[in-house]
Every structure is written in structure tokens, then in C-alpha cells.
């Protein structure tokens, strides 16, 4: 009988283990934030250099929310909040 499992040393399994270890490190030690994009003087996109997670940050309200497809669409070129055209 054949099994459809990955070998423990396959690249897919190794990548999964590495991502899991990085996420655990962030859960224990905290994220290593860096600014990936500034949308305006009070808002920016942050990413974690360790786990690759992304968040939107709003300075005035001191909020940090997960960056998702909706945020990406809003701030993308031509989007409703495109920093190049939106003057709020």
C-alpha cells in the first residue's frame, strides 16, 4: 500500500518546520517590526523580519491590525487610498 506523505527531510516539510519555529519565536520573544511602506504621515505597513507577518499601523489611535487583501487593495496604485493621489 502506498502512502501519500512527505519525507521528513523534504523541502516542503523543512519549510513548514522553519515557518513554525519562526512563528513560535515571535510568540515568545515578540516580533521584529520594520516599516515596509508609509501610506501617509500617520499610517504605515509593518512587517516582521522574522516570521513575515504584516500589519497596518495607525499612529493617532495607536492601533495595529493584520494586513490583509482589503488593506492591500485600498492602498494599491489606483486604489481609493493610493498615497500618490489621496490627500485625505
Q: Do residues 64 and 52 make contact, with C-beta atoms less than 8 angstroms apart?
A: no
**b/e map 31-60, b = 16+ CB within 10 Å:** beeeeeeebeeebbbbbbebbeebbbbeee
Q: What is the pTM of this model?
A: 0.71
Instruction: Give the tens place of pLDDT for each residue, 7-41.
Output: 556 777 778 888 888 888 888 999 999 999 998 88
Torsion of CA 74, 78, 82, 84, to 10 degrees: 170
SS3 call for 57: strand
Amino acid at each position: 500500500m502506498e502512502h501519500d506523505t512527505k519525507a521528513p527531510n523534504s523541502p516542503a516539510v523543512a519549510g513548514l518546520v522553519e515557518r513554525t519555529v519562526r512563528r513560535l519565536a515571535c510568540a515568545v520573544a515578540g516580533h521584529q517590526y520594520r516599516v515596509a511602506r508609509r501610506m501617509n504621515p500617520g499610517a504605515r505597513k509593518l512587517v516582521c523580519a522574522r516570521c513575515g507577518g504584516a500589519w497596518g499601523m495607525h499612529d493617532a489611535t495607536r492601533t495595529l491590525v493584520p494586513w490583509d487583501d482589503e488593506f492591500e487593495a485600498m492602498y494599491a496604485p489606483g486604489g481609493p487610498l493610493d498615497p500618490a493621489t489621496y490627500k485625505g
